[in-house]
């Protein structure tokens, strides 16, 4: 059975899509998509030999060699032009690594109309990348599984404007303001407050002053959202 996290990613793959799952590890996601009749053709990309072998093994075990092509490649290099990939999933990595994968081979995105990204941390940099590259957030989900909190961002082509708060927290996630969202950001605030306390007595060097301002600003941004009554 697929994790709730990957099931959420899968739920945003359009029926009949040609999907490339980058950093696929065991290829659980593409296997699930084929088994559930969502797609008939998928690429599983892996840059590390161990996980690449696991993906091959899994695809073979499930008898899906005709549907899923496993490639050992760095990021979007796993995608070939003739694949006509229209949907890319990248899950289980930090936001900065996801962004670096997208930035390294941007031409591979030519045929792509949807990106489903699941950053474990720092979703903010994905929203910033999206704005810079004319992608817009279609949907965002925050979920908790095994005491960990994850975000899933669904992007399609288009312009978007986000406020500083929306870049940090997610426009859709602010709007729905679920318990998991509140939990995540309350914890972040606690962390930032601890940081402030720990640098309270530090000398007023430029760096320390800057850090204090930065952290105080983030606390304010997030508290504003959390304390806002509908």
25 binds ligand SAM (CB under 6 A): yes
101 binds ligand SAM (CB under 6 A): yes
- The residue from 18, 20, 23, 154 that contacts ligand SAM (CB under 6 A) is 23
> Given the complex with ligand SAM, which of 25 and 166 has the nearer CB atom?
25
Per the structure block, which two tokens stand in for 7? Answer: 């099931």
- Tokens representing residue 189 in the block: 């605030």
Q: Are 71 and 53 in contact (CB under 8 A)?
A: no
Contact status: 22 vs ligand SAM (CB under 6 A): yes
Cα angle, residue 220 at apex, residues 216 and 225 outer, rounded to 5°: 155
Which residue reads 């990939």 in tokens?
Answer: 85
Select the residue interacting with ligand SAM from 91, 137, 152, 167 (CB under 6 A): 91
- Residue pair 106/75 in contact (Cβ under 8 Å)? The answer is no
CA contacts within 13 A on the Cβ side of 182: 9
Would you say 41 or 71 has its CB closer to ligand SAM?
71
Site string for ligand SAM, 39-58 (x = CB under 6 A): ------xxxx--x-------
Of 89-97, 123-131, 201-209, 215-223, the segment contacting ligand SAM by CB under 6 A is: 89-97
User: Residues near 155 by Cβ (< 8 Å), separated by ≥ 6?
Assistant: 114, 115, 116, 117, 130, 135, 136, 137, 138
Residue 92 is a binding residue for ligand SAM (CB under 6 A): yes
Answer yes or no whether residue 119 interacts with ligand SAM by CB under 6 A. no
Residues that bind ligand SAM in the complex, under the rule CB under 6 A:
6, 22-25, 45-48, 51, 74-75, 91-93, 101
């Amino acid at each position: 059975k697929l994790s709730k996290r990957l099931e959420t990613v899968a739920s945003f793959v359009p029926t009949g899509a040609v999907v490339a799952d980058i950093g696929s590890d065991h290829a659980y996601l593409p296997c699930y998509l084929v088994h559930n009749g969502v797609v008939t053709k998928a690429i599983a990309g892996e840059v590390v030999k161990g996980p690449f072998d696991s993906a091959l093994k899994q695809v073979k075990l499930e008898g899906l060699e005709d549907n899923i092509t496993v490639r050992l490649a760095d990021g979007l290099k796993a995608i070939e032009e003739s694949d006509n990939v229209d949907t890319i999933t990248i899950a289980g990595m930090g936001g900065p690594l996801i962004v670096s994968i997208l930035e390294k081979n941007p031409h591979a995105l030519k045929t792509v109309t949807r990106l489903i990204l699941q950053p474990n941390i720092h979703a903010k940099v994905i929203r910033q990348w999206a704005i810079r590259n004319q992608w817009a957030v279609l949907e965002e989900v925050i979920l908790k599984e095994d005491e960990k909190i994850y975000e899933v961002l669904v992007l399609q082509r288009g312009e978007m404007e986000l406020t500083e708060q929306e870049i940090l927290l997610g426009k859709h996630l602010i709007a729905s303001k679920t318990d998991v969202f509140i939990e995540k950001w309350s914890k972040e605030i606690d962390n930032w407050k601890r940081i402030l306390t720990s640098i309270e007595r530090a000398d007023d060097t430029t760096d320390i002053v800057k850090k204090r301002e930065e952290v105080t600003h983030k606390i304010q941004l997030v508290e504003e959202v959390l304390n806002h009554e509908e």
